[in-house]
Amino acid sequence: MEHRFSPRLPFHLQAVLYSRGALVARGICRDVSRDGMFVFMDSACLHRNALVEVELLAPGRKGRLRLPAMVVHCGHEGVGLLFDEVAEPQALHMLRAYVRSLWMLRGT
């Protein structure tokens, strides 16, 4: 059953996941929505409901974007993340604006 609140957009960026400030995994973002993302990676190092920070390097943007998230799905291909809207509203706002601009470029 689908539980997403907004549609996902293919979004291939390098992603780095941290837990308690320590790097735990590197992967590739597969898709992103306003509420979360899926990251291709070895999910063995994470478990469901783990609190992480995901760091992305967005093309055309200076610096890295780092967002708090919770692991909501672990599978053999990677992890599904749900963004924490309360912890870092400014970074999440920047990501949502970037995703919106990608949707507009696609004409959807």
Question: What mean pLDDT, rounded, does the chain reach?
Answer: 81
- Per-residue pLDDT tens for 5-23? 667 777 788 899 999 999 9
Tell me the CATH number at 17. Answer: 2.40.10.220
Domain membership flag for residue 3: no
CA distance 42 to 64: 22
**Residue 65 CA to chain centroid, in angstroms?**
10
Domain membership flag for residue 2: no
- Per-residue pLDDT tens for 85-104? 766 777 777 777 777 776 67
Report pTM. 0.79
**Residue 34 CA to chain centroid, in angstroms?**
9
Domain membership flag for residue 21: yes
Q: Specify the number of domains making up the chain.
A: 1
Domain assignment of residue 73, given as a range? 9-106
**Residue 24 CA to chain centroid, in angstroms?**
15
CA distance 29 to 108: 21
Assign residue 71 a region (left: φ > 0; alpha: ψ between -120 and 50; beta: otherwise). Answer: beta
CA distance 49 to 29: 19
